[in-house]
Structure 1
Amino acid sequence: MWWPYNLVQVSLFRALHEVEIRPKGGLTRLQFFLVVLASSFAYYIVPNYLFPSITALSFVCWIWKDSVTAQQIGSGLRGLGVGSFALDWSTVAGFLGSPLATPGSAIINILVGFFITVYILIPIAYWTNSYEAKRFPIFSPHVFNADGGKYDVSVVLNETTFQFNRQGYDGYSKIHLSIFFVYTYGLSFATLAATISHVALFHGRAIWQQTKVSFKDKFGDVHTRIMRKNYDPVPQWWFYTLLMVVVGLSLLACEGFGKQLQLPFWGILLAILLALSFTLPVAVITATTNQQPGLNVITELIIGYMYPGKPLANVAFKTYGTISMFQAITFLSDFKLGHYMKIPPKSMFIVQLAGTLVASSVYCGTSWWLITSVEHICDPSKLPEGSPWTCPGDDVFYNASIIWGVVGPLRMFGPLGLYSKMNYLFLIGILAPVPVWVFSRLFPEQKWICFINMPIIIGGAGGMPPAKAVNYICWGAVGIFFNFFVYRRFKGWWARHNYILSAGLDAGVAFMAILCYFTLQVRDINGMRWWGLDLDDHCPLASCPTAPGIEVEGCPVFT
């Protein structure tokens, strides 16, 4: 397992610390990094502040301004994104990570899954009116009532106890989703099931052998032998102590403070068990593809059945389960980086712990400050033009809390729900890797078969929403250009500069975003008033329903 993203960090650390003679007519890696960083830093003021509209340019919408169907097809933010592109690195790498750090085979798998989902599955489902899809937008993370309007959560949620109001729900409406959001959840079921099946089939023997070797304290990996020869390992009691402290604090947070989080103690223990169970298979996928299937949907599903009607308990359980696994995999990735860089394991552990404490404190403080200082944060309808505080990820998180926490999976994906057939995708996910594995055994000389990764293909569009079609299109285009064209035509340049380029682009965007906020946006100075200031692709009709008789503000009514 080589953890592709670590190669970016290794390349950056080497560029920063190794003494290098400048090649004739060229640049050292450090000089190249600084040039890229400065260029990315200077340019990012354009999409971040002066011309945000270039984060998604949808020419189809500009040509057919009055066509709902054309805008559904062409919108990069609220549609299928045909012909849409961006001139912004944060659009490219903001959701899927840097394409320069993702293996070419993983890029192809993701794009195959994306194209099958977005350009075959979704159009067929929408234009055949599956699940009454035409009553709602083709792509939206929001929840709707049966008439195509915004779902009034206050009717089904007791605002005093934050619990499900069954009487209000029975007299109102079932929750309806956009067809894309329905299949996002269904394919999430399949992705996690395929992850387990894929890892068991393709890596099960290696995992079992490695497990037996580890118990005998014998390691064949050269990096591990070097590390064990020169450095003391991290004592196990360090991990156990940290685990007990964190679990204790989590139990205090849930059982104390008047039990405001609604989650009982057993919910914490179950979330930890889920994270423990899925860390290995998900880490294998992450270590080989630079993509990480999440536990967010399966955690919502489980606690939604076990403890229904309590949205705060649902999001708390999801957070504990998902973030625990995410942090575990991040720890593994960092220890692998320590292997590459020959960093003492004890030093790496201490730095990880210190970094986690600092980062969590800063995140909490920054979030609290933003919530109390930015007026109308996360409400795009009330924010000024050019404001960056639209919070697409939090928007999805909120709507998921309604779906899984308030109403619950029984009334969404269970026997009482509209989308119970999505559960068949668990079975499809389990079976999907089997034919690939069989063909790889029957035709071992065809090495390309082993590069077919069904969890990645099935979850190809799994980041949508909050990611949009334009994010995938630009990410795929950049990834194919550098990891196929540049790699094959200029392999020496690629080996020397590709990962440094990725680090420089990321760093430049990050520094300019911070500078813009603290010097301009914190004072509500959001740039000149013009059409390019709108953080939108100017496809207002893309979110319109097309079913006859459905009335939505700003949309034509079909007859």
Structure 2
Amino acid sequence: MPTSFVPVSFLLTIIFSLPSGIITAITNMPMTAISAVDLISSLILSGNPIAYLTFRTLTYTCQNQILVYLMNSKIAHYMKIPPRIVLPLFILASILSSIIHYITAIYLLNNVPHICTLKSPAWRCLSLQATHTSSIVFGITGAFIWSARYSSLLYGFLIGSILPIISWLLWKAFPNIKWLALINFPILLMATINMPPAPAGEFPSWFLVGFIFNFILYRYAHNWWEKYAYIFSIAMSCGVAICGFIIFFALQLNHTSFPQWWGLGGLNGDGCPLDSANFSGVIPTDRYI
């Protein structure tokens, strides 16, 4: 990537940090404007996938680090930890995590056979596949995406920009309709960011848990919800992290496969055998990301 694009990356970070920070503060869902960066990158770095990935990674990392730092500063503020202590600790943690991530990546690439291919279902690197697909769609085709088969999907940028304005205008025009104030399109649409790497079967479970806790229990057992809902949410998050740690060292490193039962199947284990198929319904037999 030409060095002249580094200031452009920083400028985009500054522009998108404010709306991303506001949405994160209101919804507690970190969101970076990576899709807008993809679109801009495809126009200014068309036909250069390596430069596109560099520009995308730099911009995304800067945006994400800003949000993470703000969230950590907020927690430190609640815990009455001075900012002069938080900042150097955050810098130190960033340096250490970068080194650890690099060492871990090199270790996995050298010790896990067929990593990031279909021959290793437990190490398919779904998030990297989404990044690889973006580099092809935006980095190689570039401006040609406007006339491609999926060009109609680009209207999503326009629709996503207009929907929050419409909901806000409706709320202002009809203040007596209480449920209009509950419509938040960034929250509704934000979950789709995780759809490319996440198996489709995970979304019904997310919806079910959210419906039970934030509708049924909130309405019919509000006292319990008010006292235990957030604690239970933290417990589930910690449980997932602990289980992931145990599964990695106890099962995946020992090449232990997950048991097969009803509802599984397909390359992603979500019971959908065509979730990795292309537009024509053809599933690739083997590939590197």
Q: TM-score, normalised by structure 1?
A: 0.46
Task: Tell me the amino acid that sits aligned with residue 269 of structure 2.
Answer: D
Kindly tell me the number of residue pairs found equivalent between the two proteins. Answer: 281
What CA deviation, in whole Å up to 9, does each residue of 1:104-147 have, x standing for no partner? Answer: xxxxxxxxxxxxxxxxxxxxxxxxxxxxxxxxxxxxxxxxxxxx
Alignment of 1:335-354 (within 5 A): 335-354=73-92
Aligned equivalent of 1:431, options 162, 165, 170: 162
User: Which residue is 1:367 aligned to?
Assistant: 105
Structure of larger gyration radius: 1
User: Which residue is 1:540 aligned to?
Assistant: 273
Q: Distance in 1 between matches of 2:109 and 2:60?
A: 24
Paired-residue identity, %: 32
What CA deviation, in whole Å up to 9, does each residue of 1:312-350 have, x standing for no partner? Answer: 111111111112111101111111112222221112222
Task: Tell me the amino acid that sits aligned with residue 6 of structure 2.
Answer: I
Task: Tell me the amino acid that sits aligned with residue 540 of structure 1.
Answer: P
Runs of 4+ in 1 over 4 A off after TM superposition: 532-535, 541-547, 550-554
Alignment of 1:44-55 (within 5 A): none
Q: Give the drift of 1:286.
A: 1.2
Alignment of 1:92-491 (within 5 A): 263-380=1-118, 382-383=119-120, 387-408=121-142, 410-413=143-146, 416-491=147-222
Root-mean-square deviation (CA, aligned residues, Å) is: 2.8
What CA deviation, in whole Å up to 9, does each residue of 1:342-378 have, x standing for no partner? Answer: 2211122222222222222211111111111111111
Unaligned runs of 5+ in 2: none
Q: Distance in 2 between matches of 1:448 and 1:455?
A: 16
What CA deviation, in whole Å up to 9, does each residue of 1:220-256 have, x standing for no partner? Answer: xxxxxxxxxxxxxxxxxxxxxxxxxxxxxxxxxxxxx
What's the secondary structure of 2:123's corresponding residue? coil
TM-aligned CA distance change 1:390 to 1:551, over 3 Å: closer
Q: Distance in 2 between matches of 1:320 and 1:523?
A: 35
Kept after mapping to 2: 8 A contact 1:300/1:315: no
Kept after mapping to 2: 8 A contact 1:304/1:405: yes
- Bigger relative contact order (CA 8 A; separation at least 6): 1
Q: Give the drift of 1:538.
A: 4.4
TM-aligned CA distance change 1:519 to 1:351, over 3 Å: same
Q: Give the drift of 1:393.
A: 0.7
Task: Tell me the amino acid that sits aligned with residue 395 of structure 1.
Answer: Q
What's the secondary structure of 1:465's corresponding residue? coil
What CA deviation, in whole Å up to 9, does each residue of 1:237-293 have, x standing for no partner? Answer: xxxxxxxxxxxxxxxxxxxxxxxxxx1112221111101101111111111112334
Kept after mapping to 2: 8 A contact 1:411/1:418: no
Unaligned runs of 5+ in 1: 1-262, 555-559
What's the secondary structure of 1:461's corresponding residue? helix
Between Structure 1 and Structure 2, the one with more helix by share is 2
Kept after mapping to 2: 8 A contact 1:300/1:317: no
What's the secondary structure of 2:192's corresponding residue? coil
Q: Give the drift of 1:527.
A: 4.3
TM-aligned CA distance change 1:311 to 1:491, over 3 Å: same
Q: Distance in 1 between matches of 2:158 and 2:50?
A: 30
Kept after mapping to 2: 8 A contact 1:314/1:405: yes
